[in-house]
Amino acid sequence: MMMTNKTDLINVLTLKEALEEAEKKGYAIGSFSPRYTPMIRPVLRAGEKTKSPLIVQISQKELERYGITPFEFAEEFYRAVEEESITVPVVLHLDHTKQISVLEDAIEAGFTSVMIDASEHELAENISISKKVVDYAHAKGVSVEAELGKIGTTDFVETDKDEELYTDPAEALQFVNETGCDALAVSCGTAHGVYLVRQPKVDLERLKAIRKLTPVHLVLHGGSGVPAEMIIAATKLPNGGVSKVNIATDLEISLLKSLGKEERMTNEECKSLSNEQLEMAQKAVEATVIEKIQHFLGSSNQAENFQG
């Protein structure tokens, strides 16, 4: 069931390769979740138009919620990269995932990066589970993101619980050293979903403390709805800051708004939209991604000098 061989596409990179370059240059790469396979293309087009590296991702819960398999998502990603003649550096990433079988399927399908989320477990168990995934994925040439601390949520599409526990810098050092993960999702004040009551914040001092102890690439989840100045500050920390920012909800909001809808669709329902509706939705998603790249992440034109 293997899709297009990613080794044939030199611009499809691992997460580690992409984030090394972003951190070196002091910007963040957007990790955009289209949620529906027809929205992969506008995400890629936005990266190409802005000459920005980017990450296309989907989580285990999104795969389940929207009715997609890792193989279907990867197949459409590689097809779009080729048919749209995408030249900017891109990563295909599996976001929050708890089941090893889903991670294995994603790697077989051609994902170049996966995230194991064992953050609900105590530190020792989180380390044990995450290390097993790192060992498996690295043997296949795939990067691994892990999570330490608990990142809250408001819509339960990506994660199960609205529990928040800030990442402890000392535990981050131990976790990274013992797991060998390539990137670490940290809890520092943001949340998945739409901010309705509580307001987003980014604990820059906590990020500085984590960075002081470990050089692991830092990931900020819950980027939708966070003010641009907070994200920019998080990417510009003296010793290197956040280099990956996850954005999902804002894309779906723009898609649904363009169609005059309030309720989420399944992937099949999205695929069955009329050509006119699909074009409207894709234009809305593309515009949102371009806006995030230009005014939120600082990654415009970074693909031109990319050394990854």
Given CA atoms 175, 243, 66, 261 in this order, what sign does their dihedral have? positive
pTM for this model (two decimals): 0.90
How is residue 12 annotated by DSSP? Answer: B
pLDDT score, position 150:
60
DSSP letters spanning 61-102: HHHHHHT--HHHHHHHHHHHHHHTT--S-EEEEEEEE--HHH
Q: CA triplet 164, 113, 230: central angle to 5 degrees?
A: 45
CB-based burial, 253-285: b 16+ in 10 Å, e otherwise: ebbbebbeeeebbebeebeebeeeebebbbebb
pLDDT score, position 192:
43
Q: How many Å apart are CA 57 and CA 247, to the nearest integer? A: 9
**CB neighbourhood size of 296 (10 A):** 23
Helices 204-213/169-179 angle, 10° precision: 40
pLDDT score, position 253:
94
Mean pLDDT per 10-residue segment, the chain (308 residues): 55 96 92 97 98 97 97 98 97 96 98 96 96 98 90 44 68 96 85 46 85 92 75 85 91 96 94 97 98 93 82
Query: Left (φ > 0), alpha (ψ -120 to 50) or beta: where does 206 sit?
Result: alpha
| C-alpha 206: how far from chain center | 21
Q: How many Å apart are CA 265 and CA 86, to the nearest integer? A: 27
pLDDT score, position 18:
97
Kindly list the catalytic residues.
95
Do residues 203 and 166 lie in contact, with contact meaning Cβ atoms separated by under 8 Å? yes
Do residues 191 and 198 lie in contact, with contact meaning Cβ atoms separated by under 8 Å? yes
Residue 103 sits at φ, ψ, to 5 deg, of: -60, -45
